[in-house]
Structure 1
Amino acid sequence: MNLVLWVLFAYACGCLNGAYYIGHFLYGEDIRVKGSGNAGARNAGRVMGRKAFVYTVIIDALKTIFPLLVVIYLGEASNLVLACVVVAILCGHIWPVQLHFHGGKGIVVYLAVSLVLLPMGLLIVGGLILLLYIITKKLTIPTLTSFFIMPILLMIKSSWMLAAAYFFMLFIIVRLHRSGGVE
């Protein structure tokens, strides 16, 4: 399968927005007009409760893991293909076409990509987030700060293409969190 088809497949998977579908089918609500207006797990949890948060995280993680595993197990797992696929999944999550380009901010997608491509790095990031949370009693800044470890670890592993993709994803995620949304 060529790169363009992999990217389209990954984008389509990324467009499956857990918070929106959980809100729509289980609660009869449009998460994009509730709470912060963000169609992500954190807002789903705030607006609809813990169950909605958990279901959203599961859906968003699976929609990220599935295309990555398909690419890897079909033998197309060059660093270029993987880099393009992870960025496409993130773009689908943040700017889903069927939701008029109004999705989540990408935290779960970033973490799920890390679970597949660099699981030991994810453990390091998790530990650092926990440590910084204990110190600061805040979550967003420690999380975003800790995410910088992933591209650095990939550079150490000499996966320059994937490190670049991670830096690009991180740039988008930080910008969305600074601006307060995806509007």
Structure 2
Amino acid sequence: MKCLLIVLLIIGSYICGTINGAYYIGKIYFRKDIRELGSTTAGARNAGRLFGKGAFTGALLVDAFKTFLPLGIGYMLGLSPWVQALLALSVLIGHIWPIQLGGKGGKGVVVYLASALVMVPVALFASFLLLLIVKLLKVKLTGVGLLVLVPAPIILFVQHEWQAACVFSLMLIIVVFAHKRSVFNE
């Protein structure tokens, strides 16, 4: 019975991931498909560039909430960090490759950071310190800025949650892959 519940939660997590804040804000409030504008990705950063701070904030909140919901359910059910990490991975996959949007979603940074906030909150402090260092060095943010995502799998590994660390490492690779155009073309 528990295996069936986990499978249903993983499927539900993917479905949550497909609810793309930037896309729906663009469609509902601006009557535009964000995937055809700017960086052509349905993410909070592109929404902010195209539609302003309110659209950025709205997309960020939707993407964070859609991550918190399945992870919160997993936490309340007492699921292991490993299974919760699988739920986070499912949300990320749904965000980047949403079936109803033809596989054209966002790049996954908000989902990744929201997952880290739930599962490894101390990693966000380490990420903030790394971001501060990157800003102080005045390095262009996109490529090097992805370094701020590295602490979560490292801290999970140090905490002996190696299965969750492996899943977060996979999530990190997926987010970097989703950014490959901007990382390698700057």
Q: How do 1:40-55 residues align onto structure 2 when only pairs under 5 Å count? A: 40-55=43-58
Moved over 4 A (4+): none
| Residues 78-99 of structure 1 deviation map (CA, whole Å, 9 limit, x = unaligned) | 1331121111000000011111
Segment of structure 1 superposing worse, 56-65 or 125-134: 125-134
Match for 2:66 among 47, 63, 66?
63
Q: What residue identity is the alignment partner of 1:121?
A: A
2:66 is paired with a residue whose SS is helix
Q: Is the contact between residue 133 and residue 142 of structure 1 (CA under 8 Å) also seen in structure 2?
A: no
| Residues 110-153 of structure 1 deviation map (CA, whole Å, 9 limit, x = unaligned) | 11001111111111111211221221242223321121111111
Match of 1:18 in 2: 21
Q: Distance in 2 between matches of 1:133 and 1:105?
A: 21
Q: Distance in 1 between matches of 2:135 and 2:143?
A: 9
Q: How do 1:135-174 residues align onto structure 2 when only pairs under 5 Å count? A: 135-174=137-176
Q: Is the contact between residue 129 and residue 142 of structure 1 (CA under 8 Å) also seen in structure 2?
A: no
Q: Is the contact between residue 45 and residue 52 of structure 1 (CA under 8 Å) also seen in structure 2?
A: yes
Q: Distance in 2 between matches of 1:148 and 1:120?
A: 12
What are the ranges of 5 or more consecutive residues in structure 2 without an aligned counterpart?
none
Match for 1:33 among 36, 60, 64?
36
Match for 1:9 among 5, 12, 17?
12
| Residues 19-69 of structure 1 deviation map (CA, whole Å, 9 limit, x = unaligned) | 001101111111011111100011111111111111100110000011100
**TM-score, normalisation: structure 1:** 0.93
Q: Percent identity?
A: 42
